[in-house]
Amino acid sequence: MTSAPLLRATGLSKAYGPTTALANADFALRAGEVVAVMGPSGSGKSTLLHCLAGIVRPDAGTVDYDGRELTALSDGARSALRRTDFGFVFQFGQLVPELTCVENVALPLRLAGEKRRAAEARAAEWLARLEVDDTARKRPGDISGGQGQRVAVARALVTSPRVIFADEPTGALDSLNGERVMQLLTDASRDTGAAVVLVTHEARVAAYSDREVVVRDGAVRSPERAA
């Protein structure tokens, strides 16, 4: 790919007390690209994702998204981006237990002001696309872990985001469910043109990406240099 990056981090550093999570880390993501961020536990993978998504402010360095310096935006502006341009899939889904699955998927649309009927109609379309339309009126506690992650993927995609941040999306699943979730996630992202930042420590999950980077000791390296 030769296009300019949609999302770029330069010289990111972040510490939590005496612990360095990121040390002068660089990262670039182009539109439509799926990049796997790999590394051992505690290497800084999730901190990098949180900085890229504007959830955490780095101590030093910049994050630029689509021509805007994300690190310079107000909390409100960064929150707005997370509702419109960014989608999220976490290890345990983080679905709202009191809501049905269709209500969970529709939630980002409702928060953006869309009327309930229209939001739930779009949500139902994504549940069908992720092969879990039978969960629509069930609550998260009444479905399996694999179904829950598909619902979470539908929620991440329902707003037509430009970037999806997936933090260990198969970490709580068996291998069969994990493979299906990854297949559906990457197929859907490529169909919609969404880029994906995929944090994982599993090679079988990283295999779904276009390329891999490795975080070690808070620095981002290419796989060839990471050994």
Tell me the C-alpha distance between 33 and 94, whole Å: 25
Check if the beta carbon of residue 9 is closer than 8 Å to that of residue 61: yes
The whole-angstrom distance between residue 93's C-alpha and the CA centroid of its chain comes to 11
Structure confidence at residue 222 as a pLDDT band (50, 70, 90): confident
The pLDDT value given to residue 172? 84
Q: At residue 142, does pLDDT exceed 80? A: yes
Q: What is the pLDDT of residues 176-210, one digit of tens each?
A: 989 999 999 999 999 999 999 999 988 999 999 99
Q: What is the pLDDT of residues 96-119, one digit of tens each?
A: 999 999 999 999 999 989 999 999
Of 215, 112, 154, 159, the closest CA to residue 169 belongs to 154
Across the chain, mean pLDDT equals 92
For the entire predicted model, the pTM comes to 0.91
Read off the pLDDT of each residue in 205-216 and give the average, rounded to a whole number: 94
Tell me the C-alpha distance between 131 and 134, whole Å: 8
The pLDDT value given to residue 2? 52
Between 201 and 61, the more confident residue is 61
Q: At residue 59, does pLDDT exceed 90? A: yes
